[in-house]
């Protein structure tokens, strides 16, 4: 009986926008980064180290090229690139982070609330999306007044 009620409640949920679905998929695919003691999560499974074929499922062309250029520069110079944290978690250590993803009135903007055991207050990220020939993709991620992924990746070393 309980499963039927849960299925009925799920069926009545409003349809998510494609942008919200993309951001939810990103967090679902890389949730192991924030799960404490997940044996299936290692550096090979972290979003920051994913190959181009995975990154292009989420990023638009501009953000993808900036991300890959920063990674190549870091490998070439043997230094930390422009990113010294995981942008999707706004943290170097996302373990235990609670995520709440919300649509906004603007279909190109998705808001993500992050609650981490070490934060005194929740942090809010904004995902700016763009419609591309392959569907919705992330154009930028930002924490208002603090950082923008496009700006960070565009910095000269």
Q: Could you please state the CATH topology (level 3) that the domain comprising 18-154 is classified under.
A: Nuclear Transport Factor 2; Chain: A, (3.10.450)
Rounded average pLDDT over 96-113? 95
Say how far apart CA 117 and CA 97 lie, in whole Å: 7
Contact by Cβ (8 Å): 119, 139 = no
Q: Which helix (H) or strand (E) holds 141?
A: strand 135-143
Q: In the predicted model, what is the mean pLDDT of residues 34-62?
A: 79
Largest distance between two CA atoms of the chain:
60
| Closest listed residue to residue 70, CA positions, set 91, 49, 89, 46 | 49
CB atoms within 10 A of CB 54: 13
Expressed in percent and rounded to 5, the helix, strand and coil fractions of the chain are: 35, 25, 40
Q: Which residue has the higher pLDDT, 84 or 108?
A: 108
Look at residue 39 in the predicted model and tell me its pLDDT: 57
What is residue 93's predicted lDDT score, i.e. its pLDDT?
A: 86
pLDDT of residue 42: 54
Task: Determine the pLDDT at residue 117.
Answer: 85
Give mean pLDDT, residues 79-87: 89
Average pLDDT over residues 23-36: 87
* C-alpha to C-alpha distance for 122 and 35, rounded to whole angstroms: 18
Q: Domain ranges for the chain, please list them.
A: 18-154
pLDDT for 147 equals 96
pLDDT in tens, 117-144: 888 899 999 999 999 999 999 999 999 9
Q: Could you say which DSSP state residue 42 is in?
A: -
Query: Model confidence over 51-81: pLDDT tens digits?
Result: 999 999 999 999 999 999 999 998 898 888 8
Query: Over 50: is that where the pLDDT of 7 sits?
Result: no
Q: Is it the case that residue 1 has pLDDT exceeding 50? A: no
pTM: 0.84
Site of tokens 């235990």:
96
């Amino acid at each position: 009986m309980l499963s039927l009620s849960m299925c009925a409640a799920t069926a009545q949920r409003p349809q998510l926008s494609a942008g919200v679905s993309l951001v939810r998929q990103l967090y679902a695919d890389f949730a192991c980064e924030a799960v404490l003691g997940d044996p299936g999560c290692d550096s090979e499974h972290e979003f920051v180290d994913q190959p181009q074929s995975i990154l292009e499922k989420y990023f638009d062309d501009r953000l993808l090229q900036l991300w890959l250029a920063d990674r190549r520069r870091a490998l070439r110079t043997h230094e930390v690139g422009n990113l010294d944290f995981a942008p999707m978690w706004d943290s170097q250590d996302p373990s235990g982070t609670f995520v709440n993803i919300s649509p906004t009135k603007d279909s190109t903007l998705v808001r993500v609330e992050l609650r981490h055991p070490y934060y005194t207050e929740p942090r809010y990220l904004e995902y700016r999306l763009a419609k591309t020939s392959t569907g919705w993709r992330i154009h930028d991620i930002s924490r208002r007044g603090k950082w923008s992924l496009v700006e960070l990746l565009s910095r000269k070393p």
